[in-house]
Amino acid sequence: MQGNPDINFQEPTSGRSPIERYVRRMRGTPGASVHPKPNPLTVLAAFLGCFVGIYLIALPEVVNLPGSTKFFLIGSFGASAALLFGAPRAPLAQPRSLIFGQLIAALCGVSAFKLVGGDLGLAAGLAVGSATAIMLLTGSLHPPAGATALIAVLGPAKVHALGYGYVLSPVLIGVLILLVTALLINNLSPDENRHYPLSWW
């Protein structure tokens, strides 16, 4: 059976308690496979895209360009790159989700830190929770952005020093670099199904 995470599998539930039905959901959908085997060109394209995108974001800091304290890598860029180049047709990898998701998360993270930064747990929960809720409401869910919100709370100190500047740089600048790299590299593939984006909006 071809893998499909949205496969519609109905299992008889009569005679089972609500707890048993709840626990049985955790075993997954029988027969569903969500891990297709990629061909070597797909793996090479994913490696190349991730390498180039992340290297370009890191370059200003590596060569110590003026203003490089505002251009730097954050951990969520790695997750975004893996999604953009490893699964370019995934809905959560599309430009709307990438750009708006990351910007929303950065705003939520900085706001949470400014509001309740004295309580790290409260600020972290508020940052990720509000970012996820707003991304869902705006149709721009991008899972790596959850880390962007968390980084705004946890730091390092140079992130805290940027305040709302964090939203523009490194977040927006880094996201745009990844987007352009995804457009250039994903569309080089001879596989017609690999084009990027699947949808701009």
Tell me, what's the pLDDT at 201?
87
H/E stretch holding 111 reads helix 95-116
Dihedral of CA 150/163/111/77: which sign?
A: negative
pLDDT tens sequence across 46-78:
999 999 999 999 988 777 666 655 667 899 999
Weakly modelled stretches of the chain, pLDDT under 50: 1-7
Give the Cα separation of 189 and 185 in Å (integer).
7
- Is the link from the previous residue into 197 a cis peptide, with omega within 30 of 0? yes
Residues 6+ apart with CB under 8 A from 89: 193, 194, 196, 198
Per-residue model confidence (pLDDT) at position 6 = 47
